[in-house]
Structure 1
Amino acid sequence: MDHIVTVQEAVTAFEDFMEPTDADLEAIERELPLINAEIGLLDAQIIVIDHTPTELDVRRIRRARRRVLAAHRDLVNGTAGRTGGVA
């Protein structure tokens, strides 16, 4: 008969290394506008899953796609999160 044992000691030995670093958190914060834009696009697509898209639905999805592209452009160009004029 095999005995089931816990691995608590093995898991808690690496507990200090399991938390995100400051660099990880900064990267997430930098990508947050893109993440939010992608969530908006997903929401717009979910709305039309069970029915034929109306003109309003099509516009909503198109605007959401533009927001994703703009957020991605800003992230790649390094302007995400900056306020004011042109970077």
Structure 2
Amino acid sequence: MDHIVTLQDAVTAFAPWMEPTDAELDAIEQEMPVILADVDLLDAHIATLDRTPSELDGRRIRRARRRALAARLALVNRTTGTSLPGGAA
């Protein structure tokens, strides 16, 4: 009879190489305004899922969409001078 053994140690094992690098944390920090603006846009859309959007809801969605686009534009303008690793453009 074969015993079924869990692989809990193998699945949840912690290895130091699994931590994000400083460069990855810096990239997340740079993208945080875009992430937060996208969350606000999703919140505006989620608020109208179970009902017909009112004029106020429409304005909230449009405002959130403009903020998300502005945050993306600001990120692109900040990172335009940096190059991607590996020579990719």
Which bin holds the TM-score, normalised by the shorter protein? 0.7 to 0.9
Task: Quickly say closer, same or farther: Cα 1:59–1:22, change in 2 above 3 A.
Answer: same
Compute the RMSD of aligned alpha carbons: 1.9
Taking structure 1 as the reference length, the TM-score comes to 0.79
Write the deviation string for residues 26-56 of structure 1: whole angstroms up to 9, x where unpaired. 0000000000000000000000000000000
Q: Distance in 1 between matches of 2:11 and 2:45?
A: 43
Q: Which segments of 5 or more consecutive residues in structure 1 lack a partner in the other structure?
A: 80-87
Give the paired residue count. 78
Q: Distance in 2 between matches of 1:45 and 1:75?
A: 23
Q: Distance in 2 between matches of 1:54 and 1:2?
A: 62
Q: Which segments of 5 or more consecutive residues in structure 2 lack a partner in the other structure?
A: 80-89
Partner of 1:20: 20
Q: Name the % identity.
A: 62
Q: Distance in 2 between matches of 1:55 and 1:38?
A: 21
Partner of 2:82: none
Q: Where in structure 2 are the equivalents of 1:33-52 lying within 5 Å?
A: 33-52=33-52
